[in-house]
Amino acid sequence: MKVLLPGATLGVMGGGQLGRMFVHAAQQLGYFTAVLDPDPASPAGLVSHHHVHADYLDEQGLARLADLAAAITTEFENVPARALEQLAAHRFVAPGADAVAIAQDRAREKAHFVRCGVAVAPYAVIETPQQLEAVPDALLPGILKTARLGYDGKGQVTVADRVALAKAWEQLKRVPCVLEKRLALDFECSVVVARGQDGRMANLPVQRNLHRGGILAVTEVYEGNIPAAQAAQAVRATQAIAEGLGYVGVLCVEFFGLADGSLVVNELAPRPHNSGHWSLDGSDVSQFELQVRTLAGLPLVAPRRHSPAVMLNLLGDLWWRQGSEQPPPWDQVLALPGAHLHLYGKQSARPGRKMGHLTLTAESAAAARATALQAAALLGIEAF
């Protein structure tokens, strides 16, 4: 196993906010960084030592990144597997192209969960009209999801019956899809795990997540955020999923908690995750430092959550409160104790766009929740 000590250059495919926070963590540890992203104003490119302005499949751009960086990771799952393979021919790449390819396809992802012995929501793969016909009634009402390229609830249609299902598949241009039974969720949660080249793992505590309109809105992390038995089960399942992939890097698995006390896995992200952002302020090791450590072959130590934390996602909508674009009242928000503001350097605040996040830490869960609710009220985020 090759260890890259601080002073080396670490590369990342993609220049979004996840890449930006990876770059920050790498630089804090004394690494140089290189980002590949076509956008000259990408959030990560703006703060990186090197920024290769190239498309993800541009061979020259990839060669330049491999030239600059001793090891390369990725910050979004839709990076073409081919690009990772080209890089891997020259450099250490984590996660590997095969693990990323599984995460890019909901059907393969679910098959992997089942292989690992982790329960999934009842589902069927729909690639042909015959498979559409053969869908069992028990899957309805359901949610039809495109197998590829969905995120933040995009590429999903809720369907009540077979007629709606057929219409939805047309609407999604008959691309390969997965139909899932619509479950009554008691809660949602996720687990971030890092797995090193030596197979050792370290995880963050279970995160309780609230989604609105298919987008993560709030993450709460403290003792008792979800029932202990389901929390332990979620951690074990996440470890089994990472192990089964022979994964190296940081991975996040999302789960649904059901009212009968059971837990089913939803999906995985082969990278740090929005629900793990609290770890920058509430844990002594963040998910981005874990990503740096796995990429550089450094030891993984168990992160310790030192403060209860509540994270609020800051979507572009918050900039549009009185019909015109204006920044939210940051001065008032920053007057709250334990408020940690992270803005990603994005220029235009489009509705639904992830502009930043705010984490509230405190000595008790009740205090963190109370200040988070105050912040939410100041920002115009609905109470939770």
Binding site for ligand ADP (CB under 6 A): 121, 143, 145, 150-153, 180, 182-183, 185, 188, 211, 214, 254, 266-267
Between 31 and 113, name the residue whose CB sits nearer to ligand ADP. Answer: 113
Between 156 and 294, name the residue whose CB sits nearer to ligand ADP. Answer: 156
> Residue 14: phi, psi to the nearest 5?
105, 140
Between 151 and 320, name the residue whose CB sits nearer to ligand ADP. Answer: 151
Shortest distance, position 316 Cβ to ligand ADP, whole Å: 17
Shortest distance, position 84 Cβ to ligand ADP, whole Å: 20
**DSSP symbols for 308-375:** -EEEEEEEGGGG-SSSS-----HHHHTTSTTEEEEE---SS--TT-EEEEEEEE-SSHHHHHHHHHHH
Between 237 and 285, name the residue whose CB sits nearer to ligand ADP. Answer: 237
Shortest distance, position 143 Cβ to ligand ADP, whole Å: 5
Between 71 and 177, name the residue whose CB sits nearer to ligand ADP. Answer: 177
Between 142 and 328, name the residue whose CB sits nearer to ligand ADP. Answer: 142
Shortest distance, position 310 Cβ to ligand ADP, whole Å: 18
Pairing of strands 32-36, 9-13: parallel
What six digits make up the tokens of 321?
């409160």
Cα separation, 98 vs 73, in Å, equals 14
Query: DSSP label at 6?
Result: B
Between 145 and 293, name the residue whose CB sits nearer to ligand ADP. Answer: 145
Shortest distance, position 158 Cβ to ligand ADP, whole Å: 9
Instruction: Establish whether the linkage from the previous residue to 43 is cis, with ω within 30° of 0.
Output: no
Q: HSE on the CB side for 80, CA within 13 Å?
A: 12
Q: Please, are residues 161 and 140 in contact by the beta-carbon 8 Å criterion?
A: yes
Q: Give, to the nearest 10 degrees, the angle between helix 228-245 and helix 106-115.
A: 110
- Gyration radius from the chain CA atoms: 21
Shortest distance, position 46 Cβ to ligand ADP, whole Å: 26
Distances (CA, A) of 40 to 206, 288, 348: 36, 23, 15
Shortest distance, position 116 Cβ to ligand ADP, whole Å: 18
Secondary structure of residue 22 in the 3-state scheme? helix
Shortest distance, position 214 Cβ to ligand ADP, whole Å: 5
Distances (CA, A) of 137 to 48, 124, 140, 164, 176: 52, 11, 6, 13, 19
Between 185 and 370, name the residue whose CB sits nearer to ligand ADP. Answer: 185
Q: Please, are residues 107 and 151 in contact by the beta-carbon 8 Å criterion?
A: no
